[in-house]
Chains A and B, each alone.
Chain A
Amino acid sequence: MKTTKCFSLLLILLYLLSGCSDDDDYSDVDGLPPTISLASSTIQTEPGREFLIEAKIEDKDGLRSINLKNAAFQLDKTIDLTLDSIVYSFDLSYKFKTAKTLEGDNFPLEITTTDLGGRTTTETITVTMDGDFTSPVFTLAPDNDITVLLKSETRLNIKFTVEDDKALSIVYINIPELDYSQEVTTFTNSGKALVYDDPLTLPSKLATYNLEIRAVDKAGHETVKNSIITVSEMPDFPKMYLADVATVEELNSDVFGVPMRIERTAAYEYKANYYNEKAGTEIFFLPQKSDFTPICFGLDPVDNTKLTDDPSIAQPIVLTQANVYYEITFNVQTAAYNIKTYSIADAIDPVPHKFGSVSLDTWGDGGSWLQEFYFGYMTSSPKEVVKFKQDATNPHLYSLSAPLALEAGEKMNFIIHNWHSDGWWNYCTWRVDDSDEPETFGYYGNFKNPLWTKPNTTLDNWAKPTVKQTGSYKLYFDAHLGRGKLVRE
């Protein structure tokens, strides 16, 4: 009797087990493999660019998985479709970005789908790397507003450089008022670049001209650069810059800070404060940022007590003393100028504590909790500040030890801020005058050196310049001048 009971129990158990096993097995509906309808059998892209893989995948038995595979892309993705209810139709829309370093022209990307019955179907998409998605870029372009001084012979150099990542097709240069019209179809650097430099003689009369430069690449992408050229008597320039570099390339290789914006103190009058690191630095003053023409204030070779605005004859002002601050004032109408120096010790900055000392009063209560004080480059939170390195000679001067690797087209977003363990804000910090094109840094912090009497800036502007050329850049900041520059290493 007992044996019978045991046997019955065993049978029930076996039945239950086999029942469970049956549940796992799948009953075919049509027994056919799944179908893949590609949106396109080829995809045109380029290294480092995201593309979309699109297809409609169906199976009446239900889909189990979809696999996308290409070894060169380092892609082997399986989409599991069994997680929820049975999927009979799936609209594949999968984006993928290839590595920038990818080498090769075309690649087969396999899409393999498996249905619940284990049947598979594979389709291949050919992905080619010959796509062109980027418009030409002006790496050197005329300023938006160009002032040309009315002279007996009024000259203007139309100078620009335009580049395309693939190939340029045509570049148009037009000044309708002058019937100036050029079409360039011959390019350097395997057809990728145009360095244009055309000296023009303008009518010697007060006038305004519109310059349009339109660059078109072979895929039809175009970039337009417009400038307004004004021929005038010596104007009261709203902005003036100090150039301490020798070439136009250097003038245009920064993200910001070169040439250095100086102060307009009164009508036609300007004041430049500048820290001279080495003796023999040569400087000019420019009302435009990208070129030494059409106006460049330098020493008049005929009368060294005066400045000339003529770039063809202007001599550089040579700063002979190293490790001092220079203060140069000049009047563009009278061409008079004056130079004096003051020591690093006499220079004042708003920094409230000794950099690197344990002096930051964390709770603002007189010092119940002190922490190390420093500041630097900050993109997110005061806990994440990248510490500046203080210059050994000039304590007002700071820089980032590690270079910033930036890519063309990248829009930055940063401020200069103190580090704070609890992420406190506005203790010692600077903001910029113009987010897109920062030229000066204004102090914005709650605490400041009592000797610093300049008013704080009220603009809560983060620096958001756009990088023109990919490269490695170094950030310098002078707390006394409120000047920063981000230049190629």
Chain B
Amino acid sequence: MRKYLIFLLLIIPVFLAAQNKVTITGKVSEANGNEPLTGVTIIEKGGTNGTISDIDGNYTLSNVTVGSTLSFSMIGFTTKEIKVGANTVINVLLEDDSKMLEDVVVIGYGVVKKSDLTSSITTVKGDDLKSITSGNALYSMQGKANGVQVTGSGGPGDNPRIIIRGVTTINGSDPLYVVDGVPMSSGTNINFLNQNDIESMEVLKDASASAIYGTRASNGVILITTKKGSKGKTQFQFNASLGVQTISKPNMANAATYEKVFKQRYINDGNEQQALDNWAVEGVSSFSDTDWWDQTINKAAYTQSYNLGFQGGSDKFTFSGSIGYYRQNSQFDVGYWERITGRFNTEYKFNDIVKAGIDFAPRYENWDDTPNLFGAVMKMDPSTPVYRAQEDWSVSNPYNNYQRSYHNQEWNPMGSVARQNKHSDEYGMIMNPFVNIEPIKGLIFRTQFGVNARFRMTDEFTPEFYIDNLEKNESAKAKRNSDHWVDWNWANTLNYTRTFNEKHNLNVMAGFTMEQFAKYWLEGSRDGVPSNLKDLQYVSAATGEQMVIKGTNEYDSYVSYLGRVMYNYDNRYYVTASIRSDGSSKFPAANRYATFPSASLAWRVSEEAFMKEQDIVSNLKIRAGWGRVGNAQISRSAYLNLISAADYVYNGDRYIGTAIGQIGNNNLKWEIVEDLNLGVDVSFLDNRLDVTADIYRKKSNDMLIQKENLMILGYPMWNGQLWTNIGSMEAKGWEVSLNWRDKVRDFKYEVGLNLSSVKNVAKNFGTTSEILTGGFFNDYIIKNVPGGEISRFYGYIADGIFQNQTEINSHTSNNGDILQPNAQPGDIRFKDLNNDGVIDANDKTYIGNAFPDLMVGLNLRFGYKNFDLVSNFYGTFGNDIYNSAKGGLYAGTDGQNVFADAYDKAWHGEGTSNYYPRLSYADANLNYRTVSSFFVEDGSYFRCKLLQIGYTLPKKFTKDVDIRLSASAQNLFTITSYSGMDPERASISATKDDGTYNVLESGIDNIAYPNPRTFLFGININF
């Protein structure tokens, strides 16, 4: 018996063990489509027993203890855990975790489930960020983030113009960028970010969302969240794309046509002899026929992008990282932008209470400035050869060998390209360590200290050369700029989340932040560099009298207290309220602090019992939000009186001295924007159709305007202006987004349509009755007045062309006063709008509007088996462009070159044209020098921003590796009636001194670098 007992005791565990250990088999597939998933990690929790699914998604895991839990995990999919029971075959469907990501939205100092959002926030993430190859991630928002106007500028490294829900200030439209919780300084170009590193970009559009960023949120906030690691097998991704950019060549006149136009301008004015005299060039018997576009602008410019990324981790430690390279060449022989980025992100969970991590992102950028010579190339005289005759060449200075234009004052663009010599190197780093402490469940204290530091060195050399008295630089000059930016941000938040009685959901957050933005800069330049030799292109080599040495430090700093309460009852009734009190060094002591509150409400109607019985509407939420935000995009020293360096001249001698540089305002305070938003989110048919609609009104008060001082005070006119809080603007608009996604067998498709409209109205400019911008000869193109939309063109109405003398004689007042006494047949007839018998400033009216009535984004995504196709379209409708370059390109003003059809299109006899005036040298009727509707064109366009076809190689060939090949075209085609080079680029126009776009001066086309058409081939490898 005893023996039996001993035997039993010995064998029972063996038996039990044999009974408890089983072999589990099964297949892991994608929940959405049932595609087999390769490389899924299957681990028996609490041990080391694990395996990976094979190419067909199948797996076998032996020695699994019955009752244990299996974990199925894979990057990009939601981890699933299944308890092992009697069944030894476990087939698993893994959900794409992008769906999960969609459900969580990053908000300021926290995250929230999308369903719990009470504000207007748009998210761009996932494939939308990757599909466009560009140096700036903001381009991937174009047409996808509704209400966000992204207008492209084509040059290497150029910054697009971003306007979120219209304009409420004359002081810039740039939003606040916050990268992983670190606010960037105003005017930041976020092209330093590798878009492969970005997990998501959230646009806080209304003040109820953005007020948590208080002082700097009036233009909206863009939160950029970079990729983080996650638990599971380490995944690698390699992406590469190579492309060529092209720019459409305008059809310019050859030398023969140019000559005809050149001479006809004089002949039409009755000066045939002058035509001959001015065409003749001493010592030149025959002219060239130079195609300056082909000479100067390359047919193809290359762009390339490579990125290697990885993510992984365990329960304790997660990590992600990447190394990326991007380069965009310009269309000229000089000019490029290059960027190498690294990013390494780690998080370590010490225990259930403490977690810490760091984001470390160094980068190196370098670029050669791209010359803007498109205008010069189009204007340059085609009868001039590129170089002088070889016998006249200078051996010592090749810059002298370019030929001066024979027939106009344009500088030789090839010479300009050769002399272009401005290079910048920038080294930057963002470090962002944090510690999370959760002493009791639901209460999280987070402290994060971010540093954003960068150093830029720019060297510019202007060589000595002599082509002509009017095209020369007598003394070579070297210049160096050294700029350091060091910004830091310390954010401390306490967040408490708890659900009471299962239905009361509460989230409370309180925080304290400190920030400083500092710039240290030095500039030195001197002329008289003895030679153009590369080795002498330094300031120290210069010996001349003209020298500039200047530099200073600039700071602005903020201290802020913030808080937010989010509460919902039973996931049906939502209330959110936030407040931020900001103190800023940009304002005088008395007005240094300001408070920015917000509140929003939402009702999830679809969660009500009465909605449960139907299956058409799967989600319905109504939102309302109000908030107050500020704008501090003004100079750091706007409230201070400043003394600046100034030179004085006595008896012809120069004396260095000082003068009043700025008049300060001790009462300066924040520019406040008040915002009201109403929205609705609806999903139909089992979430296949999502509709989001918003209407909003943003109104600024105390807008900062530089006001003229009284002349009696004796301040210099140009420095006597002082910033004052006297203005007001209003933006009203609506947005509707429709998104349909579905699957028919193997065919998946998604169609998104974004429609938005905003009207930007100036309400009050204080004592300033109008703000005129956009100089055009002795006039202005744009007139901004209180009560009217901003950036409207103001001029005369061109009412066709005088076909004969009778029409001129009949264009009179009722008393017979000839309205245009200098006109001849072929000249433009300007409308006597007020019918007072005189053409004067009273006949001017608004002749165009730079801002569109409607912005449209159309996003298509199709997938069929291994093929996928992505297409994005973006367009604006109802906006006008003042094509100021058109005048010269059809008139040959100052002897410039013209379009090939200029001679034929110009009026040359009765009935030949009712639009293009006659050619004239004197232009006595001021056809081309009067701000008129002749220059105004419909700037509406609809552009295919992206067309991409991808093919994922079958798994049977690639085993554990996913390989996708793609071919794309960016800016492939544009539907527009605009005659200029690029309606998109033209709609932005002017930049201010600090490089930001001047929203009050939009829509004037002066031939800037257009958005190129780009063809790319890409490969994505995941393993």
Q: How far is the CB of B803 from chain A (nearest CB, A)?
A: 12
Q: Count residues of chain A with CB under 8 A from any CB of chain B.
A: 25
- Once bound together, how far apart are the Cα atoms of A33 and B728, in whole Å? 57
Q: Are A79 and B814 in contact (CB under 8 A)?
A: yes
User: How far in angstroms is the closest Cβ of chain B from A203?
Assistant: 56
Given A364-B649, A402-B274, are A77 and B472 neighbors across the interface (CB < 8 Å)? no
Question: Is residue A74 contacting chain B, with contact meaning CB distance below 8 A?
Answer: yes
| Residue B19 interfacial (CB < 8 Å) | no
Residue in B271, B546, B652, B810 whose CB lies within 8 Å of A402 = B271
Shortest CB distance B880–A (Å)? 27
Q: Contact check, A95 vs B816: say whether CB atoms are below 8 A apart.
A: yes
Partner of B470 from the list A78, A95, A99, A372 (CB cut-off 8 Å) is A372
Q: Decide if B649 touches A365 in the complex (CB within 8 Å).
A: yes
**Complex contact A75–B806 (CB within 8 A):** yes
Taking CB atoms, residues of chain A closer than 8 Å to B994 are none
Could you mark each residue 584-614 of chain B with 1 if its beta carbon is under 8 Å from any beta carbon of chain A, else 0? Answer: 0000000000000000000000000000000
For A368, give the chain B residue with the smallest CB separation.
B546
Q: Are B654 and A401 in contact (CB under 8 A)?
A: no
Cα–Cα distance between A75 and B805 once the two chains are bound (Å): 8
B809 lies within 8 A of A365 (CB): no
- Residue of A with least CB distance to B825: A74
Partner of B812, one of A77, A356, A358: A77
Task: State whether the Cβ of A199 lies closer than 8 Å to any Cβ in chain B.
Answer: no
Residue from the list A73, A74, A83, A401 in contact with B804, Cβ < 8 A: A74
Given contacts A95-B815, A358-B469, A402-B274, contact A74 B809 (CB under 8 A): yes
Would you call B817 and A365 a contact (CB within 8 A)?
A: no
Contact, CB under 8 Å: A357 / B816: no
**Given A93-B815, A94-B815, A96-B816, A76–B806 Cβ distance below 8 Å?**
yes
Query: Cβ of B804: which chain A residues have Cβ within 8 Å of it?
Result: 74
- For B271, the chain A residues whose CB sits under 8 A away are 402
> Is B654 touching A366 in the complex (CB atoms < 8 A)?
yes
- B814 x A94 contact (CB < 8 A): yes
Q: Is B277 an interface residue (CB 8 A)?
A: yes
- Residues of chain A lying within 8 A (CB to CB) of residue B806: 71, 74-76
- A95 to B649, Cβ gap below 8 A? no
B295 at interface (Cβ–Cβ under 8 A)?
no
- Residues in A neighbouring B649, C-beta threshold 8 A: 364-366
Return the contact of B809 from the options A73, A364, A366, A368 (Cβ within 8 A): A73
Report the bound CA distance from A315 to B815 in whole Å. 62
Q: Looking at the complex, which one of A53, A356, A365, A401 makes contact with B277 (CB distance below 8 Å)?
A: A401
Q: Is B647 at the interface (CB under 8 A from chain A)? A: yes
A355 → B minimal CB distance (Å): 11
Chain A residues, Cβ within 8 Å of B469: 356-358, 372
Query: B394 near A: Cβ within 8 Å?
Result: no
On whether the beta carbons of B810 and A76 are closer than 8 Å, the reply is: yes
In the complex, what residue of chain B is closest to A372 when comparing beta carbons? B470
- Bound together, the chains give a CA A446 to CA B652 distance in angstroms of 11
Q: Is the CB of B277 within 8 A of A94?
A: no
Given known pairs A94-B814, A402-B271, the reply for A358 and B654 (CB within 8 Å) is: no
B835 interface contact, C-beta 8 A: yes
**Chain A residue at smallest Cβ distance from B812:** A77
- A364 and B814 CA atoms in complex are apart in Å by 51
Contact across chains for B470 and A96 when beta carbons are under 8 A apart = no
B472 / chain A contacts, CB cutoff of 8 Å: 358
The distance from the CB of B843 to the nearest CB of chain A, in whole angstroms, is: 14
Q: What is the chain A residue whose CB lies nearest that of B778? A: A383
Complex Cα distance, B967 from A237, in Å, reads 96
In residues 29-55 of chain B, which contact A (Cβ within 8 Å)?
A: none
A475 to chain B, nearest CB (A): 16
Q: Which of A53, A77, A365, A368 contacts B810 (CB 8 A)?
A: A77
| Chain A residues whose CB sits within 8 angstroms of the CB of B816 once the complex forms | 53, 77, 94-96
Q: Is the CB of A365 within 8 A of B654?
A: yes
Complexed CA–CA distance, A95 and B469 (Å): 52
Could you tell me the distance between the alpha carbons of A93 and B472 in the complex, rounded to whole angstroms? 60
Task: Tell me the complex Cα distance, A53–B472, Å.
Answer: 61
Residues in B with CB closer than 8 Å to A53 are 816
A154-196 vs B: 1/0 string, CB under 8 Å? Answer: 0000000000000000000000000000000000000000000
Which chain A residue shows the least CB distance to B804? A74
* Known contacts A366-B654, A372-B470: A95-B817 contact under CB 8 Å: yes
A96 touching B809, Cβ below 8 Å: yes
Residues of B within 8 A of A79 (CB): 814
Which residues of chain B in 654-680 are interfacial with respect to chain A, using CB atoms and an 8 Å cutoff? Answer: 654
Tell me the residues in window 57-85 of chain A with beta carbons closer than 8 Å to chain B beta carbons.
71, 73-79, 83
Contact in complex: A365, B647 (CB < 8 Å) = yes
A430 CA / B654 CA spacing, docked (Å): 27
In the complex, chain B residues whose CB is within 8 Å of the CB of A73: 809
* Cβ–Cβ contact A74 & B277, under 8 A: no
Contact code string A363-399 (vs B, CB < 8 Å = 1, else 0): 0111010001000000000000000000000000000
User: Smallest CB–CB gap between A182 and chain B, Å?
Assistant: 45
Name B801-846 residues within 8 Å CB distance of A: 804-806, 809-810, 812, 814-817, 835
Chain A residue nearest in CB terms to B811: A77
* Closest B residue by C-beta to A66: B814
Q: Which residues of B contact A366 (CB under 8 A)?
A: 649, 654
Bound complex: CA A83 to CA B833 (Å): 12
B647 to A, closest residue via Cβ: A365
A71, closest chain B residue (CB): B806
B613-653 near A? 1/0 per residue, CB < 8 Å: 00000000000000000000000000000000001010010
- B444-494 interface (Cβ within 8 A of A): 469-470, 472
Q: How far is the CB of A38 from chain B (nearest CB, A)?
A: 16
**Bound: A222/B262 CA distance, A:** 49
Tell me the nearest residue of chain A to B807, going by C-beta.
A76
What residues on A are CB-neighbors of B817 within 8 Å?
95
Q: Which of B470, B647, B806, B817 has the most CB atoms of chain A within a 10 A radius of its CB?
A: B806
> Bound state CA distance, A372 and B469, in angstroms?
8
CA of A402 to CA of B652, assembled, Å? 36
Known: A75-B806, A77-B809, A78-B810. A358 touches B470 (CB 8 A): yes
Tell me, in angstroms, the Cα distance from A74 to B274 when the chains sit together: 30
Q: How far is the CB of A101 from chain B (nearest CB, A)?
A: 11
Q: Are B809 and A75 in contact (CB under 8 A)?
A: yes
Q: How far is the CA of A77 from the CA of B815 in the complex (A)?
A: 11
Residues of A within 8 A of B647 (CB): 365
Name which residue of chain B comes closest to A51, CB basis.
B816
CA distance A121 to B6 in the complex (A): 139
B-side contacts of A99, CB under 8 Å: 805
Contacting pair A83 B812 (CB below 8 A): no
User: What residues of chain A lie closer than 8 Å to B652, measured between beta carbons?
Assistant: 364
Interface centre among B277, B649, B816, B835 (most CB of A within 10 A): B816
When chains A and B are docked, how far (Å) is the Cα of A255 from the Cα of B814?
39
Q: How far is the CA of A78 from the CA of B809 in the complex (A)?
A: 11
Chain A CB within 10 A, most for which of B274, B647, B810: B810
A290 and B529 alpha carbons, distance in the complex (Å): 63
A71 CA / B809 CA spacing, docked (Å): 11
CA distance A93 to B652 in the complex (A): 60
Instruction: Tell me the smallest distance from the CB of B475 to a CB of chain A, in Å.
Output: 11
Closest B residue to A358 by CB, please name it.
B469
How far is A473 from B338 in the complex, measured between Cα atoms in Å?
Answer: 64
Chain B residues within 8 Å of A357, by CB: 469
Chain A residue at minimum C-beta to C-beta distance from B814: A79
10 intermolecular pairs with C-beta atoms under 8 Å apart: A74-B806, A75-B809, A94-B812, A94-B815, A95-B816, A99-B805, A357-B469, A358-B469, A368-B546, A402-B271
Report, nearest first, the 4 A-B pairs whose CB atoms are least far apart: A95-B816, A94-B816, A77-B810, A74-B806
B residues sitting closer than 8 Å to A (CB atoms) are 271, 274, 277, 469-470, 472, 546, 647, 649, 652, 654, 804-806, 809-810, 812, 814-817, 835
* Chain A residues with a Cβ under 8 A of chain B: 53, 71, 73-79, 83, 93-96, 99, 356-358, 364-366, 368, 372, 401-402
| 15 additional contacts (CB under 8 A) given A75-B806, A94-B815 | A74-B804, A74-B809, A77-B816, A79-B814, A83-B835, A93-B815, A99-B805, A357-B469, A358-B469, A358-B472, A365-B649, A365-B654, A366-B649, A366-B654, A401-B277
